[in-house]
Structure 1
Amino acid sequence: MMRTFAAHGDLVHDPASGMTHRAPTPIGSGRITLAQTTVTAWPVVAPRDLDRPIPDSVCWSPIVRCNLQCPQCLDDNTVREANLSERWRVARILADTDVLGVDISGGEPLLLRDLPELLDTVRSGGRSAVSITTNGWHLGRRAAELAEHTDAIRVSLDGPDPGRHDAIRGPLSFDRAVRGIQAAVALRIPVQIQTVLMRRTAGYLQEMVNLAARLGACGFSALQMLPIGAGTALPDELLSDDEAMRLFAALDVPERLHMRLRTRDVAGNFTVIRADGRVWRNDSTALNIGGLHPLRSAADLALTTRDGTA
């Protein structure tokens, strides 16, 4: 399967998995089409080992609103949601950066009517691959509209069937998400299914992997739960990174399904642009997140603050 990635020298970012790989030789810069099997065979580079002045990828959450109320949500719904002109300003700044991957999340980004145009604006710089992270509720009706504007879609599923998923994310959310995934796959949009890894989901991780393969997803991500946002109320759900790695290593992986485990260690220092237009960053342990400063230019994404500290 040929897909769009973003390259800078020997670094290649996958918008579906959110991982950055190192190619054996430099392959250029900007948006590039490569075979998925080629890229996934290259080693993954941890963000802390990239030696870049800015992040390789960022999550932009231009919307706080969401139609679901997931108990493990990372978003802070007390953050002010900026207006339309502010969203466009942030999109133009992102287009002018050397960030390889921009994932548009929320809240629920499919509630934004101007989402296709925002995606195009970020891609207009020719440097970044873009993705959408969604709960899938509106994906069935918007997949065709988004197909030519995004490089990948990440759909959050936290159970392998309606009973277990809907117990976390709400009634009908499983069926709506599955229909959305099927619509996106039929349109040949690369789909990554992702699950928040916590105690209540750990027992059926293999079922989630099997479901991703059956639905035709190109990959599956298990994301260690972070005690940020609503998740601060769920300390008993946390697994250690060692527990998560043991669970992941025991999985029987279907052929051609690209796998990702995001540990809390890997999530340390990850950069988020929230709906208030400010740059936020996880601390080194990914147990807390802090706001740094407003995003006024590409320089504000620097991995050190203005006084030179990390």
Structure 2
Amino acid sequence: MKVIPIQQLAPSNAPDTEVPDPASRPAPGEALVDRRGREVRDLRISVTDRCNFRCVYCMPREVFGDDYAFLPRRELLSFEEILRVARLFAERGVRKIRITGGEPLLRKDVERLIEMLARLDGVEITLTTNGVLLPRMAQRLADAGLHRVTVSLDALDDALFRRMNDADYPVEKVLEGIDAARAAGLGPIKVNMVVKRGTNDGDIEAMATHFRHSGHILRFIEFMDVGASNGWKMDEVLPSREVVARIDRLFPLEPADPNYVGEVAERWRYKDGAGEIGVISSVTQAFCSSCTRIRLSTEGQLYTCLFAQQGHDLRTLLRTGADDAQIDAVIARVWNGRDDRYSEIRTAATAAQRKIEMSYIGG
């Protein structure tokens, strides 16, 4: 088995220890705008690079095996360090924080971090999970202040799902987690299905049928060329328009307006009132022009795009005595200099480039 150290999968720039001149950055509290006129609104925080799944499109077992070298605990940001960065982003206009991983529920005492973040004024706190640990954790997360969860589920067929997660977890474990999240009030729950042509696209209609009338929002995500290890091929991408057409033939759909500016999922509702679905089309219908997301990795690197090749080091600043103004200056410099539009310029050549693994910075 080929094992690649995390350092090779997650290259980063030299530490951003050189702080810009205060006069050259936006005033404290002023919203940050990148070079394409996009404001920062969403912060995704990865709290662990570990996962109990080995999904074929994210952490394939031939790369991330049982003896894979995950980050040692000392290299992970502490909850206090995460809160400090999150507070600075909230002061710059971030209104949603999503906790990701790896599998974030593997981070010890993660509900304590949720409780800390939930005290930030005017910020929605959400979490993405594979769901299998929710039966014992959902209520604790809700009590800590978590607003809602998104659960990954790539098939209803049990044998297919076990092959895709490559850790022999049954579908029933995830469905129990979704039920636990509902009971704890962590809704509306979104259920994400990554669609890979020739692998699980035969389960699209079954997933739609199952989640109609459930109150949950099923979202279909095009298979993306994230990272360097999932063996992405364009012919394995099933365009979202085909997903919508297939469901529409069974259950007529009509388009629905976005909930907010920059929403990545295109919304469709059932004409009979049975709920809605969403499609996320990063490959075939790029939404870079309205992207408001920035990502904080497990050990304190800022990434301005899911398809980034390099990050910007905040951990060094956090651990070498930088004050809030200095860290804010770096955050402002990183976002103001952002020009990312990877999905708009994707080619066979860019798809082959080594990029940060999704398991390292979250989806």
TM-score by length of 1: 0.71
* 1:63–1:81 CA contact under 8 A, matched in 2: no
Of 166-175 and 245-254, deviating more is 245-254
* Corresponding position of 1:154: 150
- Structure 1 unaligned spans of 5+: 1-46
Aligned partner of 2:287: which letter?
V
- The root-mean-square deviation of aligned C-alpha atoms, in Å, is 3.2
Aligned partner of 1:271: which letter?
I
Q: Which has the larger radius of gyration?
A: 2
| 2:168 is aligned with 1:145 | no
Match of 2:200, SS?
Answer: helix
| 2:279 is aligned with 1:261 | yes
Q: Taking structure 1 as reference, are residues 233 and 195 closer, same or farther at Cα in structure 2, changes over 3 Å only?
A: same
- Structure 2 unaligned spans of 5+: 1-32, 252-268, 318-326, 341-363
Deviation readout 1:120-176 (Å, 9 max, x if unpaired): 222222132111111111111111211222111111101013122112013233121
Q: Distance in 2 between matches of 1:223 and 1:178?
A: 19
| 2:48 is aligned with 1:86 | no
TM-score by length of 2: 0.61
* Corresponding position of 2:128: 133
* Corresponding position of 1:164: 160
1:1-310 aligned at under 5 Å gives the runs 51-54=37-40, 56-73=41-58, 80=71, 83=74, 86-97=78-89, 98-148=93-143, 149-169=145-165, 170-190=167-187, 191-199=189-197, 200-213=199-212, 216-229=214-227, 232-235=230-233, 238-239=236-237, 243-251=239-247, 252=251, 254=270, 255-264=273-282, 265-266=286-287, 270-282=293-305, 288-295=307-314, 297-302=327-332
CA deviation after TM superposition for structure 1 residue 300, in Å: 4.5
* 2:304–2:338 CA contact under 8 A, matched in 1: no
Of 59-68 and 226-235, deviating more is 226-235
* 1:109–1:115 CA contact under 8 A, matched in 2: yes
CA deviation after TM superposition for structure 1 residue 94, in Å: 0.9
Aligned partner of 2:126: which letter?
S
Q: Distance in 2 between matches of 1:277 and 1:299?
A: 16
Q: Taking structure 1 as reference, are residues 123 and 137 closer, same or farther at Cα in structure 2, changes over 3 Å only?
A: same
Q: Distance in 2 between matches of 1:294 and 1:174?
A: 38
Aligned partner of 1:272: which letter?
R
Match of 2:55, SS?
Answer: coil
- Give the number of aligned pairs: 256
* 2:240–2:280 CA contact under 8 A, matched in 1: no
Match of 1:65, SS?
Answer: coil
- Quote the sequence identity (%): 20
Structure in which a larger fraction of residues adopt strand? 1
* 1:59–1:271 CA contact under 8 A, matched in 2: yes
* 1:157–1:195 CA contact under 8 A, matched in 2: yes
